[in-house]
Structure 1
Amino acid sequence: MKINRNSGAEQPNPLPQQPTPVRRAPKAAPIRQETYDDPEPDDEEDEEDEEEERPRRRFPFGCLIVLLMLALVAFGGYKVYRFYGEVDGSGNLGKEQTVSIQKGASLTEVSAALKEDGIIEYDWLFKLYARYSGNAGALQYGKFTLRSGMSYNDIIATLSEVQRRKTVDITIPEGTTAVGVAKIFVNAGLVPDVDTFLNCANGTDGSDFSQYDFWNNIPDNGRLMKCEGYLYPDTYNVFADEDVYYYVDTLYAEFADKTSQLATELADKGVTLDDVVILASFIQEEAGIASEDAKVSACFHNRMESTDPQWSSHRLESNASSHFMYDTENNYLWNSPTAEYYGWPAAGAIPEDVLNKYDTYRVSGLPAGPLSSPGFDCLNAALNPDQQFMDEGYYFFVTGNPSGDYPGQFFYARTDAEHEANCVKAGWR
């Protein structure tokens, strides 16, 4: 075996050698950014710590309150602006309108009428302004021309003007029937026809007079007309361009005012105003003279209240409303304006149901309703008959024949015989 000692000779293959790694400076570890998207911590304690450290969002109540306050201030400012604009006038005037203010209307009613007609928007504001400006007492009643958008001062100035309107004097004599009253207004050119007046006065057209106690207490007992006896006779100065309600209400208001003086006596004597009006209408027809009213009233009271068998039926037996008539008398059922209105004379007979309610020779006590509108003296006499004549028992009376020796003179009697003698003396026999 030869040993090769030559260095350049080929050497056996050694074990493979690994390359020597190059040493480099270590890189800096990247900084970890903690976000809410990081993976969950390894344990629950870290998760709780992180949640505690996170900031919590709170509801901005303070902002809401500020916004609400600003809204209220803005709304309040808007309303104040609207109020001021109405008081001072909007500058945009509407069309002319006629506004009617009733006599005796309160400031509240005036304000409501203005709002209803669209002249103002806030009736309470107008009422306060008129009251505290000291002008409420100057407001008048009547018809006024106004426009929406006017200032309160201009409205008040217009409503404070005394109306320069044409007026008419109307005289209603005592003892005038309801039909007769209607004819007076028709003849004056104030009402188109009798039916228009009567329909209003009786409330059959829907007219309401319930503001008057007497109206509410008129009984519904089959009388011909509810208004009969209550259209107070007097002289009135009325506007010439009003509606029928105004005229009727004027008469009713006067009746209410005049009869208010009798309220205490009515209560003390326990009688109704309607009974007084009915009896007063007969006194008005049979007498109508201040010196005789209470005496005639005494005769009627005795007939209705006497215990004498002759008067047990307690009938009035007044020729003013009976089944017979004389040309010289104003008989309600035969020859009065009422009889003409209902057409009874033309028919030649009075309906039986009417006679059963109004014929004083059939009816015991008072008939269904009055005959006409009595004056205050007759109303007072019906309530206060002549006490001496009642105590002495007078039942009869007769007036002198206009063609006789004692025209218009009154003769009173206690018995039939005395009455017959008086009728001869008065020129009726």
Structure 2
Amino acid sequence: MIWRNIASNFLTLLIVLLIAVAAAVAWAKHEFSGPGPSEVAQCVEIAPGASLNAVSQQLAAQGAVSSAYLFRAGADYMDKSRDLKFGSYLVPPRASMQDIVGVVTAGGPSTCGTEVILRVGVRENTVLLRDMNQQTGAFEEMARYNPANEEQPEAITVATDSPDARMRITVAEGVTSWQIVEGLKAAGFLSGEIDEVPAEGSLAPDTYEVEKGSSRTALLADMARRQTAILAAEWEARPFGLPYETPEEALIMASIVEKETGVAAERPQVASVFVNRLEQGMRLETDPTVIYGITNGQGVLDRGLRRSELNTTTPYNTYRIDGMPPTPIANPGRAAINAALNPAQTDFIFFVADGTGGHAFARTLDEHNRNVARWREIEAQRGEATDSPVQGGG
């Protein structure tokens, strides 16, 4: 009888314990997957080589998670404990522990924290200092300067010296290889000399996250690898019947398209004009190629083209030569490469600026001349009349 009572009590206790464990597991799952405690966005910084234990303690101290232990246990359960990725990541208000595990193990570009950005542009280079406002989740500019003619602000110096700040290089579409090299030389947080300017068109405009002291030549090599991969993929997917014999010819056309319009949606139409001209045996007659022949891609021609320059035969003067110039005239982005290899199906063979930042396209010379007349009126009203031909003029 005594043993029966003991067995009964033990069974009751076991059931109670199992119920308690089940309740604890259910609570833990709810706590792990339910809304987190932070009422504001949090910037979570994962240091190189950081352990899951250190990260969980950091998150608990920030108030991003309610329990360091549950965060570690949940990451283990998701088999993500060894997948932490170095970087700074923004997690939204009330993010669950499960969400945060996903963010810090997915990797990708950093999305918050202090960052120093060198923007290599067509007209100038700019160094920016930005920081994340965790209340709004938006980056705010703290300082900027032009390294060509301005002193570096103290705030940028401090940020560059900080081990926590991220460094980025952003290369604009349409810059030349010479401009990229000059921009990288101005980046004090990079290291090493550049022996020669890479081939025109061979570098991919993009954003590159680098570490302080990264090699300039290694970064250029990365840019070249990306551009090679982009061109190969776009060339492989091209339709039949285009007037290019090699990927390099497509790259030349993409660079012309890139320099001819700043309106992204126009790129396929601009490409169609030049493809139609090639197919009809017409000259391309595009100002950006002439300008490249004058500047060699070193800087910007801050004036209109002179009649004497347009009448001088050079390998890049497409008013005087047949076909395309011998090399690209800039580094085109993926969208321009795609447009060159997937031009719109049009009958257009002319285009001219329309005064809105875009262009008016024409199928006939009469139609084009009317568009030119309207553009000349706009130029006159702005006091910008010039003797040079218009873009896409014939």
Q: Which has the higher strand share?
A: 2
TM-score (norm 2): 0.48
TM-score (norm 1): 0.44
Q: Which has the larger radius of gyration?
A: 1
